[in-house]
Chain A
């Protein structure tokens, strides 16, 4: 539900960077999204088509790169990709882990002309 605010933020960041580079239009945006992020790419795409209209980004394509979640067990230090719903460590069975990756949500690059 909060993707409208998020999409507005993506558009603003992209236009700011494009204008600094004196670009005429933005052709592509590369967005990195961790697997643990609650953002929905379809929803961002939906809002994008509405709000990017009549801007230098109106023809831009959105590309999403998903980063898999990686956890590290706080007891045995095993690194693993969670597969079960309880996120338990496959080596020692402990339930507590810290997140090494998977929460990313940033605009990585834009392509401009």
Chain B
């Protein structure tokens, strides 16, 4: 005899639950944490490299880097001044999830840091679905990617707390309609805080650094 069982359980519940545990750990250790997401080549590691020297005398910073393979990015974060730099190799997985972050947090003495930068796998689709438990999600868009990305990847643009627009020094050379881009962002994520900047020239970095400082020293 067939019986119907009501379930009504969120399919990503297990991940969400672990993300909440990660969040509690970070919160009780007093670490402000961000999940940096972007497509490959948008400048996640460059942003970390440019952020660390500007903050390392003011904050104790750890970096966790997720990649399918290699430790190239965590090596760059360590060279730029991260006190600890941990590499997560996802072994083919297209995103970090809360279990992977928990494993990396286990390797850190969390109360020895003020700021944790988590660099997600380069991808504009999958990381949006998997919460990690960080305090803020930050998306890096970049000028050469094109101005249509909010329209093509709405899930990613909708869920973030801050948006960086990197490589603004390339605006004169690329057909990027800033008003079209920003209209897309505004429709998906009204009022999201935005930092246009260039990791190469340093233009616009101050606003981003101040935002991190304010949040990390609350």
Contact = CB atoms under 8 A, between A and B. Distances in A.
B155 A113 contact: no
B183 A2 contact: no
Contacts of A21: 3, 5
B60 interface: no
Contacts of B158: 36, 99
Per DSSP, chain B at the interface is: mixed
A105 to B, nearest CB: 5
B17 to A, nearest CB: 11
Among A17, A27, A85, A111, residue most surrounded by chain B Cβ atoms (within 10 Å): A85
A85 B11 contact: no
Given A1-B125, A111-B2, A111-B3, A6 B11 contact: yes
Contact of A1 (B3, B4, B126, B184): B126
Contacts of B172: none
B139 to A, nearest CB: 15
Contact of B2 (A1, A14, A17, A27): A27
A9 B154 contact: no
Interface string A1-43: 1100110011011100110010100010001000011110000
A87 B8 contact: no
B190 A74 contact: yes
User: Which 4 residue pairs spanning A and B have beta carbons closest together?
Assistant: A96-B190, A95-B187, A2-B126, A1-B94
Contacts of A9: 11-15
A65 to B, nearest CB: 13
Contact of B5 (A38, A88, A97, A109): A109
B97 A5 contact: yes
Nearest to B183: A95
Interface string B1-36: 111111111111111000000000000000000000
B129 interface: yes
A111 B211 CA distance: 51
A86 interface: yes
A6 B12 contact: yes
B99 to A, nearest CB: 10
Contacts of A36: 154-155, 158
B9 A13 contact: yes
